[in-house]
Amino acid sequence: MKARLVSLSLVVLLPFIPWINGQSLCPQPDDISPCSCSYDAETKAVTVVCSTVTSVWEIFSAFNEVIWPFTELNTFVMRHNDAIMEWPEGLFGKVTFENIILGYTSVTTIHPSVLISLKDRIVTLDCQTCGLQDFPWDIVPQLTHLQVFYINDYYNPIMEIPQGFFESMESLQNASIHGCQLGPVLANGTMEFHSQVLAKISLGGNEISSVESHGINGLIAHTIIRLWWNDIQELTEESFRPILEVLSTGSGYIDFGDASTGDAIVCGCSMAWIVLNPDFLASIVGTCADGIDFQDLDPEYFEDFCLKTNPPREGDFFTWIHSDRSSTIEGNPRGP
């Protein structure tokens, strides 16, 4: 009976033992100020925010001069900070994170060791409007558990993604690269994926005017591709058939945006191959340069004024260019 009472007492007291209590996962607030640490009892997540620091030493000392009761934390956040320009070697000490969120800061340099220290745990790398100049691209492929990769860098565009960059990211679900001037041509191998859970690719504002046949490759049937705010004017078969052949077998699609966010796409004979294929047409979202929704295009017009007028040779891609064909097409290959 006495043993049973002791066991019951331990169960009752367990939540109050210091190493079980969520508050103990964070150091004393004064020890890491101006950084802060919080614990969400519902999600059991520990988040550290260092948005108000005025020197990199304040971050470094918070992780290297203070004892952390628990070193495998969830999220590090630094937003709207103009004081910090560099993340030096050993910034986080022995502490690791699953998510790094860096937004609207002046950080231009991240030492490779910072990312290497996280490689076994990090699942989200989110860097928005950071002005990065020295980013360890060669280290990112080592982050094999990465699920979300988001770079938005209009202030200091990256301009080139190394070949094979995504090859080892077999857990990747969301790849968003905005404002990095990847265009005008998205070359073969630029976006080569190897993930069977790839849900979303977003390449907005990259000045892309054309996509080579394997510029975006390694998709699954349910992948959504967003190409807003680019310079694409024609949906040529050579560029987009390899993509639509995959997406049309599932719920995936390509989103070119609407009149306010999309490209000025000319809905002429160069996209007859899409309009005349119901599965392909159902797998694109967007509007023509004159505001007509893709889904309102009339296949009969394309059949009469494009396919019958100048049928492609067997084995060829459709190669109509609107500017060349407009003078010989009578009527408008659009819906009413």
Length of the chain: 336
Q: Check residue 335 and give its pLDDT.
A: 54
147 or 315, greater pLDDT: 147
* pTM for the whole structure: 0.83
Percent with pLDDT over 70 in the chain: 83
Q: Check residue 130 and give its pLDDT.
A: 72
Q: Check residue 22 and give its pLDDT.
A: 47
What sign has the CA pseudo-torsion 237, 242, 247, 252?
A: negative
Q: Which among 260, 204, 213 has a CA at the least distance from the CA of 231?
A: 204
Tell me the domain boundaries of the chain.
Answer: 26-325
CB 153 within 8 A of CB 131: yes
Q: Check residue 223 and give its pLDDT.
A: 98
Q: What is the pLDDT of residues 14-27, one digit of tens each?
A: 344 344 444 578 99
CB 109 within 8 A of CB 130: no
Q: What is the pLDDT of residues 79-115, one digit of tens each?
A: 999 999 999 999 999 999 999 999 999 898 899 999 9
Mean pLDDT of 31-35: 97
Tokens representing 57? 């030493």
Task: Assign 3-class secondary structure to 25-71.
Answer: HCCCHHHHCCCEEEEECCCCEEEEECCCCCCHHHHHHHHHCCCCCCC
Cα(153)–Cα(157) distance, integer angstroms = 5
For the cut 80, the answer to whether the pLDDT of residue 316 exceeds it is: no
181 or 200, greater pLDDT: 200
Cα(122)–Cα(193) distance, integer angstroms = 19
Return the SS3 of 209. Answer: coil
Mean pLDDT of 289-305: 92
For the cut 90, the answer to whether the pLDDT of residue 132 exceeds it is: no
Cα(47)–Cα(75) distance, integer angstroms = 5
Q: Check residue 155 and give its pLDDT.
A: 61
Q: Check residue 39 and give its pLDDT.
A: 93
pLDDT interval class at 181 (50, 70, 90): confident
Q: How many Cβ atoms sit within 10 Å of the Cβ of residue 134?
A: 12
CB 77 within 8 A of CB 51: yes
Q: What is the DSSP letter of 133?
A: S
Q: Check residue 134 and give its pLDDT.
A: 74
CB 334 within 8 A of CB 292: yes
Cα(252)–Cα(221) distance, integer angstroms = 6
For the cut 50, the answer to whether the pLDDT of residue 121 exceeds it is: yes
pLDDT interval class at 318 (50, 70, 90): low
Residue with tokens 């591709």: 225
CB 76 within 8 A of CB 53: no
Cα(256)–Cα(274) distance, integer angstroms = 14
Which of the four CATH numbers 2.40.160.40, 3.80.10.10, 3.40.50.800, 3.40.190.10 does domain 26-325 have? 3.80.10.10
Q: Check residue 63 and give its pLDDT.
A: 97
What sign has the CA pseudo-torsion 252, 258, 263, 264?
A: positive
Mean pLDDT of 264-287: 94
Residues with Cβ < 8 Å from 42, sequence gap 6 or more?
A: none
Return the SS3 of 186. Answer: strand
Angle at 202 between CA 198 and CA 208, to 5 degrees: 130
pLDDT interval class at 324 (50, 70, 90): very low
